[in-house]
Amino acid sequence: MKTIAAFFDIDGTLYREGLITEMFKKLIRYDIVEPKRWHEEVKPKFIKWDNRIGEYDDYLLEMAEIYINAIQGVDSAIIQFIAKQVVEQKGGRVYTFTRDRISWHKQQNHKVITISGSPIELVKEMSARYDMDDYRGSIYICNNQKYTGEVIPMWDSRSKKKAVDELAKKYNIDLESSYAYGDTAGDLSMLESVGNPYCINPTRELIDLVMNNESLKQRIKIIVERKDMIYYLDSNYFKNKK
């Protein structure tokens, strides 16, 4: 028999913001990164997005670029230690809907897998915290235990599609019966790959892509969680807005 799986993005889908931001703050606290880099490079991008005059994807991609430069030459054991601290302290700050869906999938004996653009060290810790069966994340390459400044990304749609295909082969997954949960354009291929796709607090860019995909828009479920309320949105609303 084939396996049913549930693929989860982390940032913005499970975790309520971007874990890499918390990682960056810890790097400052441990004097690995100068505080001015946060104030001059990261904070302006965050404020722009927070004030809804910038794109969430742009903010996260900028954070990833700054992070690459920040950890170059840093010992990998330090980053692993900080990642563990971040998840211990912040890993519970998740969306209720997504957390409950993870529990539901486990009750159904589905494979629960995270595919995230966050650094693999963070993804590993979140995967362990929520007892997931497997995980994929962005790999920041090391040489002699030091980060080189090179990265194998997992934040783009093409990389996530490749990961889904590899995992489907590894676990003999029936993708048509499986589930995926994402919030940005980088999750599009993951959503397209399964029979039961969910947009969780989606960006406008992702909704536009979904609405222009005849097959996907027929089966997509759109969830918005605000405060202590969960809203199930009819995709016809977005179709009528086009």
Quote the pLDDT of residue 33: 79
Question: Cβ(140)–Cβ(124) under 8 Å?
Answer: no
Question: Cβ(171)–Cβ(111) under 8 Å?
Answer: yes
Does residue 90 sit in helix, strand or coil?
helix
Q: What's the rounded Cα separation, in Å, for the pair 94 and 103? A: 13
Which helix (H) or strand (E) segment is 232 a member of? Answer: strand 229-233
Q: What's the rounded Cα separation, in Å, for the pair 212 and 58? A: 22
Quote the pLDDT of residue 31: 84
pTM: 0.92
Question: Cβ(185)–Cβ(209) under 8 Å?
Answer: yes
Quote the pLDDT of residue 17: 83
What residues form DSSP beta bridges with 233? 222
Backbone angles phi, psi at 138, to 5 degrees: -70, 130
Structural domain for 53, as ranges: 5-241
**Per-residue pLDDT for the chain (242 aa), expressed as one digit of tens each?**
899 999 999 999 999 988 888 888 888 888 887 888 777 777 777 777 777 776 777 777 777 888 888 888 999 999 999 999 999 999 999 999 999 999 999 999 999 999 999 999 999 999 999 999 999 999 999 999 999 989 998 989 999 999 999 999 999 999 999 999 999 999 999 999 999 999 999 988 899 999 999 889 889 999 999 988 999 988 777 765 55
Q: What's the rounded Cα separation, in Å, for the pair 173 and 157? A: 19
We report the CATH number of the domain holding residue 26 as 3.40.50.1000
Quote the pLDDT of residue 63: 77
Quote the pLDDT of residue 242: 52
Domain count, the chain: 1
Quote the pLDDT of residue 241: 58
Question: Cβ(8)–Cβ(98) under 8 Å?
Answer: yes
Distances (CA, A) of 178 to 48, 76, 78, 198: 36, 35, 37, 11
Question: Cβ(183)–Cβ(12) under 8 Å?
Answer: yes
